[in-house]
A and B are shown apart, each in its own frame.
Chain A
Amino acid sequence: DTAVSQTPKYLVTQMGNDKSIKCEQNLGHDTMYWYKQDSKKFLKIMFSYNNKELIINETVPNRFSPKSPDKAHLNLHINSLELGDSAVYFCASSQGSLGGYTFGSGTRLTVV
């Protein structure tokens, strides 16, 4: 029973393509996040949703668009992929913004 699951685990695509990463959590948490981890292992928050509402949107290009159909899902759509988008993307969830954070296993995106 995976608590936070992301698909796909690996994604290799060409520059200019549009791709989506899906995330689902079965913990009953009401807050979900997307993080980007670059080659230097720096984990940086991108977005946070609480009960399907966007509450945090850090400085991220508008090519990145999160979508939360319900509080158990937070998907990330990326338009016009660029080489610099290559990274590992982690989904996470918590109960409120003051709970502990549970991470998914990550999606390694490689743009060629």
Chain B
Amino acid sequence: GQNIDQPTEMTATEGAIVQINCTYQTSGFNGLFWYQQHAGEAPTFLSYNVLDGLEEKGRFSSFLSRSKGYSYLLLKELQMKDSASYLCAVREPGGGSYIPTFGRGTSLIVHP
């Protein structure tokens, strides 16, 4: 959505660490998701944050600050297969329910 901002593209070196930022402005908040999408494939779930702080899962970690409307996805020990688009999504009230609104995604290119 237009109120979820991520960088369009990032590049990094194999073995390095990269941080992908996401800022959001929504009328309500009920969680933030990160998804990974390889070209021509479906988005796959990476992480979910609903409380402030850091959630770690293997090489991937996600951080949330609700007061700042800010999240980041941290990828460590980058591998070539991590080259993909990373989508930030915020779940917000809509239509009497909750719907996830996606950012435009950050295309990450990992090079040797």
Contacts and interface: CB of A to CB of B under 8 A. Distances in A.
Interface of A: 4, 40-45, 48, 50, 55-57, 90, 97-98, 100-106
Interface string B83-112: 001010001001111111110110100000
Contacts, number: 57
B104 A56 contact: no
- Decide if the interface of chain B is mainly helix, strand, loop or mixed: strand
30 contacts: A4-B42, A41-B85, A41-B107, A42-B102, A43-B43, A43-B87, A43-B105, A44-B102, A45-B99, A45-B100, A45-B101, A50-B97, A55-B96, A55-B97, A56-B94, A56-B97, A56-B99, A57-B95, A90-B42, A90-B43, A97-B97, A97-B99, A98-B30, A98-B98, A100-B48, A101-B100, A102-B45, A103-B42, A103-B44, A104-B42
A56 B101 CA distance: 13
B33 interface: yes
Given A40-B104, A42-B102, A100 B45 contact: yes
Nearest to A90: B42
